Amino acid sequence: MTMPSSHAYLDHAATTPMVPEAIATMAEELARVGNPSSLHAQGRAAKRVVEESRELIAERLGARPSEVVFCSGGTEANNLAIKGLYWARHERDPSRTRVVYSAIEHHALLDPVQWLAKHEGADVVTTGVDRAGRLLVDDLRSTVEADPGSVAAVTTMWANNEMGSVQPVHEVVAIAREHGIAVHSDAVQAAGHLPLDFAASGLDALTLTAHKLGGPLGIGALLVRRGLDVVPLLHGGGQEGDLRSGTIGSALIAAFATAVDVSAARREQTGPRLEALRSRLVDGITAIVPDAIVNGAADPAERLPNIAHVTFPGCEGDAMLMLFDARGVSVSTGSACTAGVPQPSHVLLAMGYDETAARGSLRFSLGHSSTDDDVDRVLAALPEVHARAVSASSARGAR
């Protein structure tokens, strides 16, 4: 599925269009009736769809079917992972009060960690990142080894949603394993762009969501290592191995599985195509705006192929976003918005950028429906967008 020709969509890191195969699967399942927990024929048919989808997702991601726990999306999966691991570990050993996480996590992970600190008395500790937005492994090691017996869990995203920087997950796991510490990774951005193998990773838990893969909104999964003790957030009918109660949506799950299957099958072809589009986009931006700064890792092996994060000195990212939007181009800022008040990106601040630079950045993210025309639209609009943003910023500064 593609965006209307009147608009160039470069915000795939926020959500990507559903692939036609997932739409077809979902439409077919929506036409059927049946609660997967019911024992009659329709219920058994719905259950079969769910379990076949679970098996397909597990196969594509190197997990056992029993390790796939369906949730409403990445936020719920992250909450279940970090809160569930903390409660289980702390209950068994009250001395385990620390949660260690990177300074560039998505708010779907940052906020539940801070909730644990405020409401459960957890001691939350951040580890730093370098200028490219990659976790400082030595920093993590020293943090853990300062008092390993007090650490309930370590969490680090697989790839950052703003920079696209790929994190040293295997090194994180190796450090934690030395001390018997559970490790979770938010792989929402990595899935579909990087090969993920849950068993080989050594992780205890891994978060996915369908809508970043070409699947529907409202469905995701937490992969949970077999035998891992996790306290559930929801209590009710005991679905999903009693880890996530609630009636599960067979149509959503079937479309999710299809999207996982399609993205895995096409990843080796899609990756180089997106990298080429990204390179053309970045080269075009820096040719038009020579002082633009492309953030993140330069080495393609250390970043996702679809994200370009750019700082435009002397500009406000929010103003550029709206100017691009008025010209039929959808992009994103690197800033979070709390109660309608723009805030500088915590990711760029953690990377060592000042607030001015953090506010003057845009994220351009590509996906399976992206074309050369999308890049052309950005580059065609950029000269006027940049000139107007600089003028507006100068006018504000003069007041």
Catalytic residues: 337
| Residue 349 DSSP one-character state | H
* Maximum Cα–Cα distance across the chain: 72
Q: What does residue 292 show for φ and ψ, rounded to 5 degrees?
A: -65, 145
| Contact between residue 160 and residue 110 where contact means Cβ atoms under 8 Å apart | no
Residue (of 118, 125, 119, 100) closest to 185 by Cα position: 100
Residue (of 206, 158, 151, 197) closest to 175 by Cα position: 151
Complete DSSP assignment for 364-378: EE--TT--HHHHHHH
Both tokens assigned to 284: 């075009």
Residue (of 248, 258, 193, 185) closest to 222 by Cα position: 185
The helix/strand/coil state of 127 is strand
| Contact between residue 49 and residue 250 where contact means Cβ atoms under 8 Å apart | yes
- The residues, any chain, with a CB within 8 Å of residue 167's CB and separated by 6 or more, are 102, 134, 135, 156, 157, 158, 159, 160, 185
| Contact between residue 297 and residue 351 where contact means Cβ atoms under 8 Å apart | no
| Contact between residue 21 and residue 258 where contact means Cβ atoms under 8 Å apart | yes
Rounded to an integer, what distance in angstroms lies between the CA atom of residue 52 and that of residue 189?
25
Strands 8-9 vs 182-186: parallel, antiparallel or unpaired: unpaired
Q: What does residue 253 show for φ and ψ, rounded to 5 degrees?
A: -65, -40
The beta strand positions in the chain, using DSSP E, are 8-9, 68-71, 98-102, 123-127, 151-155, 182-186, 205-209, 220-224, 293-295, 307-311, 329-330, 332-333, 337-338, 341-342, 361-365
